[in-house]
């Protein structure tokens, strides 16, 4: 049997030359350009303390961690395939992503490329406990981001109920003093021309060419394209309808064109609109990067096929067999059955009361130890005190009539630094929610109490609790599974699926079970494997 693909190399065991890159990011909400320099400084100091060599830096500015559409982040993931670095160093784990799905997927790609992830200001230990702690922290990072978004949406919804602007303005409008919409005459004239030209039979291409020849610009100051033109032609704001999510108010905005002209344009758009291409249904293969062929060790890849009757089937296939039918004889596995089977096994066999108690105890102790590190907060408070003193000294000099040409600039600089430090101190005090053993246990229990048939719940269970599963074909058409769970050291289990009518567990009475065949579970005490 091939070895389980789990990297157990500790930080201390790394080679003397260990090339790493730094990834830094700040979002546009409440953060500044200077935060990048702070992240880089801490990461460089961390690398120096560990004797690592920094071979590159990747930086994304004013981009949220909720999305993976970040240029330098994607470049880093792609460069990891070249083998030039062995580690990615970040300030904290929420710099990587605030979305658990993206975090799991891209960390799996880095791991496949032999690259580890480290955090300068968060101590995530090696071993299974660290995996659980990292999952908890990622969950809270996503919670923080979603909660912030909810508060922002609440404020925007309140503005919407008053027909105020809630974001960018479209061509022909501007923001009034009371934050409502008002007509901007120059842009409004362009909008009226566009609608009239299109309603009179001018093609979209000709309208675009006309606008660009005249030097007209979109609301963003760019040249017209087919997308920007169709956005204008479909925008109901131009007939005075205010829309934001579920809020719709007729007459909430001053109209630029008549309803009759707008309806003529919509009728022509509908007439000219070509048949849409059939959208390809996307299928999520939940066990990607987690399931392996037991015979050759290759990952099993999600595939689909259509029968002659038009029915589409989804399954997992050995990557080695996918390349060559003669390379490996491992049979394919049905997607829906395999995913449900794996999740039920994790929930029933790994999430026992003893395991939940052990993991929540260890994770809470590790988190309490991390929260006890207040060095950053102390340093920020000291810097704030020093800045306040400097600011007071300058004000005293100015009151005495002692000032130079640069005094004002220095005063403004210190005022800005003081505000920045106060914001950082406030974030540092609020960023770590109280995480107790009971809350962690409740979080783990949510995996056991969830609906095992819900795809979203299945994804959460697999991403967080499953390390890997190997599948072997046995004589007689049966299968044997070897699981490794992210729960505690050496926690493995071997399960055999065969055509017999009994389910046997060590220390448990025999009983009947019927589900796509019959199961033989061979489980003993944790840490012992029965083959």
| Residues 485 and 341 grouped into a single domain | yes
Q: Which residue has better confidence, 380 or 458? A: 458
Assigned domain for 4 exists: no
In a domain, 374, yes or no: yes
Same domain, 253 and 390: no
pLDDT of residue 440: 80
Report if pTM > 0.75.
no
Q: For residue 374, what pLDDT is reported?
A: 64
- pLDDT the model gives residue 23: 92
Q: Check whether residue 105 and residue 192 sit in a common domain.
A: no
The whole-angstrom separation of Cα 300 and Cα 321 is 9
- pLDDT digit string (tens) for 439-451? 888 888 888 888 8
Domain with 57, as residue range(s), is 11-146
Asked if the structure places residue 311 within a domain, the reply is yes
Average pLDDT estimate for 480-491: 68
List, for residues 157-170, the tens digit of each pLDDT value. 677 677 787 767 88
The pLDDT score that the predictor gives to residue 231 is 92
Q: Which residues contact 485 (CB under 8 A, 6 or more apart)?
A: 128, 346, 350, 465, 466, 467, 491, 492, 493
Mean predicted lDDT score pLDDT of the chain:
75
Among the candidates 207, 238, 272, a domain finishes at 272
Radius of gyration of the chain (CA): 30
Most confidently modeled range among 21-30, 279-288, 365-374, 463-472: 463-472
Among candidate residues 146, 172, 187, the one where a domain is terminated: 146
- For range 474-481, the mean pLDDT: 83
Q: Give residue 273's pLDDT.
A: 65
Q: How many folded domains does the chain comprise?
A: 3
Tell me the mean pLDDT in the region 281-288. Answer: 76
Q: Give dist(CA 458, CA 288) in Å, integer.
A: 13
Looking at the structure, tell me whether residues 246 and 189 fall in a common domain: yes
Taking the C-alpha atoms of residue 203 and residue 182, their distance in angstroms, rounded to an integer, is 30
Q: How far is CA 70 from the centre of its chain?
A: 11
Q: How confident is the model at residue 143 (pLDDT cuts 50, 70, 90)?
A: low
Confidence check: pLDDT of 11 > 70: no
Element (DSSP H or E) covering residue 336:
helix 335-345
What pLDDT sits at residue 150? 60
Higher pLDDT, 501 or 381: 381
pLDDT exceeds 60 at position 207: yes
Same domain, 239 and 114: no
Comparing C-alpha atoms, which of 376, 466, 456 is closest to residue 424? 376
- Res. 320: pLDDT tops 80: yes
Of 215, 244, 272, the domain-final residue: 272
- The CATH number given to whatever domain includes residue 227 is 3.90.1750.20
Q: Is residue 280 part of a domain?
A: no
Cα–Cα distance, 332 to 316 (Å, whole number)? 6
Residues 487 and 401 in one domain: yes
Please check whether residues 376 and 494 belong to one and the same domain.
Answer: yes
Pair 127, 166 in one domain: no
- Which of 198-202, 209-213, 320-324, 405-409 has the highest mean predicted lDDT (pLDDT)? 209-213
Residue range 106-121: mean pLDDT, rounded: 86
Looking at the domain assignment, is residue 234 inside a domain? yes
pLDDT of the residue at 229? 93
Is residue 281 assigned to a domain? no
The answer, yes or no, to whether residue 142 has pLDDT greater than 60, is no
pLDDT at residue 102 above 90? no
Cβ neighbourhood burial of 516 (10 Å; 0-12, 13-18, 19+): exposed
pLDDT of the residue at 518: 21
Please tell me the predicted confidence (pLDDT) of residue 10.
Answer: 44
CA nearest neighbour of 26 among 430, 378, 432, 420: 420
* 87 has pLDDT over 90: yes
Considering the domain architecture, whether residues 174 and 236 belong to the same structural domain is answered as yes
Instruction: Evaluate whether residue 120 is within a structural domain.
Output: yes
Are 326 and 456 found together in one domain? yes
250 and 304 together in one domain: no
Residue 261 has pLDDT above 90, yes or no: yes
Tens of pLDDT, residues 48-82: 998 999 999 998 876 664 566 788 889 999 999 98
What CATH number is given to the structural domain containing 117?
Answer: 3.40.50.1390
What percentage of the chain carries pLDDT values higher than 70? 71
User: What one-character-per-residue DSSP string does 144-172 give?
Assistant: HHHHHHHHHHHHHHHHHHTTB--SPPPTT
- Position 433 pLDDT exceeds 60: no
308 and 234 housed in the same domain: no
Three-state DSSP at 122 gives coil
- Choose between 141 and 293: higher pLDDT: 293
In a domain, 327, yes or no: yes
In this prediction, residues 230-257 reach a mean pLDDT of: 87
């Amino acid at each position: 049997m091939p070895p389980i693909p789990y990297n157990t190399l500790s930080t201390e065991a790394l080679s003397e030359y260990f090339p790493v890159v730094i990834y830094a990011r700040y979002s546009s909400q409440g953060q500044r350009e200077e935060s990048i320099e702070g992240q880089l400084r801490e990461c460089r100091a961390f690398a120096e303390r560990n004797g690592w060599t920094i071979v590159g830096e990747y930086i994304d500015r004013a981009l949220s961690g909720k999305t993976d559409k970040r240029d330098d982040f994607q470049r880093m993931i792609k460069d990891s395939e070249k083998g030039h670095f062995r580690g990615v160093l970040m300030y904290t784990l929420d710099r990587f992503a605030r979305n658990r799905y993206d975090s799991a997927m891209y960390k799996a790609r880095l791991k496949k490329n032999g690259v580890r992830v480290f955090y300068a200001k968060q101590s995530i230990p090696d071993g299974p406990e660290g995996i659980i702690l990292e999952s908890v922290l990622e969950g809270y990072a996503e919670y923080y981001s979603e909660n912030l978004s909810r508060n922002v949406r609440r404020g925007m919804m309140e503005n919407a109920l008053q027909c105020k602007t809630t974001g960018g303005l479209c061509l022909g409008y501007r923001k009034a003093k009371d934050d409502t919409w008002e007509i901007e005459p120059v842009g409004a004239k362009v909008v009226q021309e566009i609608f009239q030209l299109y309603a009179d039979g001018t093609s979209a291409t000709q309208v675009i060419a006309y606008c660009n020849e005249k030097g007209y610009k979109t609301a963003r100051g760019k040249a017209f394209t087919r997308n920007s033109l169709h956005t204008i032609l479909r925008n109901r704001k131009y007939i005075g309808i205010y829309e934001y999510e579920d809020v719709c108010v007729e007459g909430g905005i001053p109209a630029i064109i008549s309803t009759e002209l707008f309806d003529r344009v919509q009728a022509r758009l509908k007439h000219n609109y070509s048949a849409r291409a059939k959208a390809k249904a996307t299928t999520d293969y939940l066990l990607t990067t987690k399931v392996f062929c037991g015979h050759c060790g290759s990952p099993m890849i999600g595939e689909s096929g259509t029968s002659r009757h038009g029915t589409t089937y989804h399954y997992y296939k050995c990557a080695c067999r996918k390349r060559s039918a003669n390379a490996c004889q491992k049979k394919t596995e049905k997607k829906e059955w395999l995913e449900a089977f794996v999740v039920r096994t994790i929930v029933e066999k790994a999430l026992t009361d003893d395991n939940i108690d052990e993991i929540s105890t260890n994770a809470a102790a590790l988190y309490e130890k991390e929260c006890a590190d207040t060095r950053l907060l102390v340093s920020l408070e000291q810097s704030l005190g020093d800045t306040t003193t400097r600011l007071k000294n300058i004000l005293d000099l100015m009151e005495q009539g002692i000032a130079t040409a640069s005094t004002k600039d220095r005063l403004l600089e210190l005022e800005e630094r003081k505000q920045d430090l106060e914001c950082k101190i406030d974030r540092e005090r609020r960023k770590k929610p109280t995480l107790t053993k009971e809350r962690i246990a409740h979080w783990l229990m949510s995996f056991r109490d969830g609906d095992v048939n819900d795809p979203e719940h299945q994804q959460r269970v697999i991403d967080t609790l499953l390390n890997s599963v190997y599948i072997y074909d046995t004589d007689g058409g049966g299968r044997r599974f070897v699981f490794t769970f992210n729960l505690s050291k050496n926690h493995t289990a071997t399960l055999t699926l065969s055509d017999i009518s009994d389910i046997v567990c060590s220390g448990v009475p025999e009983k009947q079970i019927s589900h796509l065949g019959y199961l033989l579970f061979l489980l003993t005490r944790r840490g012992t494997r029965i083959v």
